[in-house]
Amino acid sequence: MWSGRLKIARYIPQSTTYWRGKIAFVLFASGCNMRCPFCYSSDVIKKTNTIQKTEFEKALNRVQWAIDCIVITGGEPTIYSDLPIFCKKMKLKRLNVYLETNGSNPSMLKKMLDMKVVDYIAMDVKAPLDKKRYMEITRSDISIENILKSIDILMHSNIDYEFRTTYTPELSEDEMLTISNQLSGARRWVIQQFRPENCLDESFMHYQKTPYEDIMRVASQAQGPQEIIIRTEEKGEEKIK
């Protein structure tokens, strides 16, 4: 599914919620190679009309003086082969680059790290690192070997990074703790609250958001990662460990 030129579904000119302590321009890459039913960016995944490059450049130029970085999210940005070139252009603008990815393209992550065109990577770990379970949660035929390679690349890199897992209605408490154990030694693991908003699978709109108490219980028991953070609607971002 890897294609050429980066396609932009939409953007947020200024945001303080993506990268702690920084003001970011947030770009949403169109399309994804996973079909996670709980995904809240369903409009980005389904979007067929994309923003022209000139519109993006004008929007970025208008706020460049007031931002610290660009966040590239999606969808899945690494499905585009020109992503490293795009990031290099952002670095030439003296912007830090934050990439959000599902980890399905380890060769792209390695290339970007080798080129030094990314400053922070947030990788989603969707489920316990088992092929069958990963396919069930993502509704996709994804190579678990590639996910494992991406995890290994980040854990052995010098870049700042985080792994994060959305505590969806399909994941049990035991499975969440399994993920934490499988990420033993990782610099940072973030547990995200599931919220029934704009879900790709409309049936997930009938679920309740993950209870704060359930998230705290997992976070307090998790042992593997060096740092554990939770993100909830109730209290925002909290460092638990």
Give the residue-averaged pLDDT of 194-222: 96
Contact 99, 118 (CB under 8 A): yes
Q: Please check whether residue 1 lies inside any domain of the structure.
A: no
Domain of 20, in residue numbers? 8-239
Q: Please check whether residue 126 lies inside any domain of the structure.
A: yes
Number of folded domains that form the chain: 1
71: domain CATH number is 3.20.20.70
How high is the pLDDT of residue 2? 46
What band does 43 get if pLDDT is binned at 50, 70 and 90?
confident
Residue 41 vs residues 71, 90, 107, 122: alpha-carbon distances, Å: 15, 24, 25, 16
Q: Please check whether residue 223 lies inside any domain of the structure.
A: yes
Contact 39, 200 (CB under 8 A): yes
How high is the pLDDT of residue 3? 54
Q: Please check whether residue 51 lies inside any domain of the structure.
A: yes
Q: Please check whether residue 3 lies inside any domain of the structure.
A: no
How high is the pLDDT of residue 45? 87
Contact 24, 67 (CB under 8 A): yes
DSSP 167-179: E-TT--HHHHHHH
Q: Please check whether residue 2 lies inside any domain of the structure.
A: no
Per-residue pLDDT at 1 exceeds 80:
no
Place of tokens 């959305």: 166
DSSP run (H or E) holding 221: helix 212-221
Query: Which phi and psi angles does 47 have, rounded to 5°?
Result: -60, 130
pLDDT tens across 92-141, in order?
Answer: 999 999 999 999 999 999 999 999 999 999 999 999 999 999 999 999 99
